């Protein structure tokens, strides 16, 4: 088992523990994924374990080839059809599942789990910090292509992690914890009072 696969299994194990500690009301709270409550977000996280490749293709056709439209539609449908316990058990049963996003490798699967885990814990105010070794693996995959996908413009800025040896971009250095920077380069908006000056101006809400 590679370091990335071990990290994936550890991240999913941690997320199961977080989900098992949520209250019934927490499942209806909003996440950093705009328009998704916790139940829709978790339904999205477990979708790769519930859908065969032929079914994904079929659902893509229904959504006219638009992955985001398909993912949103299915997350809402699955969240309505499955109980929170169903969703947690599905994740727990697939801690070692080898799924990777189409055209990508295990690091992209780790990114998927880490980022969506933060979408949940940060939005709910859960004091959980992703281990730095996992953040390092995910951030090393951040690239101009990644930024373009999430619609993030770093023109004139260089992001610097305060707790890791990692930078991205060229320009005025702006420092913040790696976990915060990962959310920003993934297109998430955070409260402006939680960000340093120039990041607050450009990416805060």
Task: Enumerate domains of the chain plus CATH numbers.
Answer: 3-134 (1.20.120), 142-203 (no CATH)
* CB distance 55 to 67 below 8 Å: no
Joined together, the tokens standing for residue 10 give 């550890």
Tens digits of pLDDT across the chain (205 residues): 689 999 999 999 999 999 999 999 999 999 999 999 999 999 999 999 999 888 888 988 988 888 889 999 999 999 999 999 999 999 999 999 999 988 889 999 999 999 999 999 999 999 999 999 999 999 998 888 889 989 999 999 999 999 999 999 999 999 999 999 999 999 999 888 888 888 888 888 8
Instruction: Order across the sheet with 167-168: list the strands.
Output: 167-168, 156-161, 171-176
What is the pTM for the complete model shown? 0.93
CA dist., res. 13 & res. 19, Å (int): 10
Question: Cβ–Cβ contacts within 10 Å for residue 200, how many?
Answer: 16
- C-alpha neighbours within 13 Å on the C-beta side of residue 180: 20
For 132-169, letters b (16+ CB in 10 Å) and e give bebbbbbbeebeeebbeeeebebeebebbbebbebebb
**What pLDDT is recorded for position 1?**
61
What pLDDT is recorded for position 197? 81
CB 59 within 8 A of CB 44: no
Contact 33, 115 (CB under 8 A): no
**End-to-end CA distance of the chain, in Å?**
41
| Helices and strands, number each (H, E), in the chain | 10, 3
Q: Three-state DSSP class for 171? A: strand
* Sheet strands (E) in 26-120: none
């Amino acid at each position: 088992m590679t370091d990335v696969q071990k990290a994936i299994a550890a991240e999913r194990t941690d997320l199961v523990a977080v989900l098992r500690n949520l209250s019934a009301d927490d499942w209806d709270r909003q996440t950093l994924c705009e328009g998704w409550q916790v139940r829709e977000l978790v339904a999205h996280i477990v979708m790769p374990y519930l859908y065969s490749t032929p079914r994904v293709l079929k659902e893509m056709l229904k959504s006219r080839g638009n992955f985001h439209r398909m993912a949103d539609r299915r997350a809402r449908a699955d969240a309505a059809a499955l109980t929170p316990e169903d969703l947690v058990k599905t994740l727990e049963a697939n801690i070692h599942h080898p799924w990777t996003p189409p055209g990508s490798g295990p690091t992209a699967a780790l990114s998927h789990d880490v980022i969506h885990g933060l979408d949940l814990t940060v939005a709910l105010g859960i004091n959980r910090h992703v281990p730095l070794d996992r953040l390092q693996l995910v951030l090393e995959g951040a690239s101009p292509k990644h930024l373009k996908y999430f619609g993030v413009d770093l023109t004139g800025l260089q992001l610097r992690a305060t707790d890791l040896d990692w930078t991205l971009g060229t320009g005025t250095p702006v420092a913040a914890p790696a976990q915060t920077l990962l959310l920003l380069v993934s297109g998430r908006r955070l409260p402006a009072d939680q960000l340093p000056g120039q990041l607050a101006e450009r990416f805060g809400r």
